[in-house]
A and B are shown apart, each in its own frame.
Chain A
């Protein structure tokens, strides 16, 4: 028997006060994976932007704080 690696979700039905902890179903897992992929893309894009910003600062020889002060 293979051990599933899917994340656990909790459902608290407050009508019955029943709490169920179970693995994600197919739909939930697909959405979870899609979100994770989207987050990874967003993170990579943010890093590219940050690198570009830093490259400009390096070129002009200023730190981000110094530039802030100048633009003040």
Chain B
């Protein structure tokens, strides 16, 4: 007997007798009925999805389920705790987030309430001026004035122990000029178990119009999480200056 190409249903041969036709048709019909029934049972009904963006996911071997579309901006993420093994989640964020923009003013300016949700802190400070007196520009993490060590990479190559972290080396920027910029990084600032490395770069005018550059590195020698930074000038009040504080993942 001849058979069909895809499902091998039995069909009459070209030479089959007419008397065999009814049986052949019945046999073919039964075969088609069986195949269609089986295939329909194995198919995924389109009614399983309800809305735009819905997807179909397996909950076990040979078992499927609808997973509703996630919120805008979310991405599909493997999640073994979920029935479908998937979930819509916000993409992991990275890079830098601006935490605050703070204007320097007075004898000290404290940035408090720093979130511990980042790996590092990065700061840019510019346009610093001082109306009353010039002085070394510095940071005190958590207002601690005796907790930082620093190695100055400048013409002094000197070490500072148990003090402020100095952003201008041991030199006094000419703070009647606002031509200055400082950057600093504090790593692992949110840790409550290790000390925190600090590094900085700076560029400022010391006298006349001559620019001075320096850099340094050191640490905040406490295991306490840093939640605040105090900026000050040894010797006088800040008039202007902007601190941009970033959290870095």
Q: How far is the CB of B233 from chain A (nearest CB, A)?
A: 11
Q: How far is the CB of A11 from chain B (nearest CB, A)?
A: 4
Contact flags B222-249 to A (C-beta < 8 A → 1, else 0): 0000000000001101000000010000
Cross-interface CB contact of B112 among A7, A14, A21, A36, cutoff 8 Å: A14
The answer on a CB contact under 8 Å between B234 and A35 is yes
The answer on a CB contact under 8 Å between B112 and A28 is no
Max chain B C-beta neighbours (<10 A), residue from A7, A12, A19, A39: A12
Does B86 touch A at the CB level, under 8 Å? no
Does B68 touch A at the CB level, under 8 Å? no
Cα of A7 to Cα of B145 in the assembled complex, Å = 18
**What count of chain B residues pass the 8 Å CB interface test?**
22
Cross-interface CB contact of B237 among A8, A12, A19, cutoff 8 Å: A8
Cα of A12 to Cα of B229 in the assembled complex, Å = 10
- With A16-B113, A31-B145, A35-B234 already in contact, the answer to whether A9 and B107 are too (CB < 8 A) is yes
- With A8-B237, A21-B105, A35-B234 already in contact, the answer to whether A14 and B110 are too (CB < 8 A) is no
Cross-interface CB contact of A10 among B100, B104, B145, cutoff 8 Å: B104
Cα of A30 to Cα of B114 in the assembled complex, Å = 26
Q: How far is the CB of A26 from chain B (nearest CB, A)?
A: 14
Q: For residue B111, which residues in chain A have a CB less than 8 angstroms away from its CB? A: 12, 14
- With A9-B106, A10-B108, A28-B108 already in contact, the answer to whether A15 and B113 are too (CB < 8 A) is yes
Cβ-Cβ contact count across A and B, 8 Å cutoff: 57
Does B102 touch A at the CB level, under 8 Å? yes
Q: For residue A11, which residues in chain B have a CB less than 8 angstroms away from its CB? A: 109-110, 112
Cα of A64 to Cα of B109 in the assembled complex, Å = 40
Q: How far is the CB of B242 from chain A (nearest CB, A)?
A: 11
The answer on a CB contact under 8 Å between A8 and B245 is no
Q: How far is the CB of B228 from chain A (nearest CB, A)?
A: 9
The answer on a CB contact under 8 Å between B107 and A24 is yes
- With A14-B114, A15-B115, A31-B145 already in contact, the answer to whether A9 and B100 are too (CB < 8 A) is no
Q: For residue B113, which residues in chain A have a CB less than 8 angstroms away from its CB? A: 13-16
- With A31-B145, A35-B234, A39-B234 already in contact, the answer to whether A12 and B112 are too (CB < 8 A) is yes
Q: How far is the CB of A7 from chain B (nearest CB, A)?
A: 4
Cα of A7 to Cα of B112 in the assembled complex, Å = 19
Query: Would you mind naming 18 contact pairs between A and B with Cβ atoms under 8 Å apart?
Result: A7-B106, A8-B106, A8-B237, A9-B108, A10-B104, A10-B105, A10-B109, A10-B110, A11-B110, A11-B112, A12-B102, A12-B112, A13-B112, A14-B112, A14-B115, A32-B107, A35-B145, A36-B235
B residues sitting closer than 8 Å to A (CB atoms) are 99-100, 102-115, 135, 145, 234-235, 237, 245
Top 6 nearest A-B pairs by Cβ distance? Answer: A15-B113, A7-B107, A8-B106, A14-B100, A10-B109, A13-B113
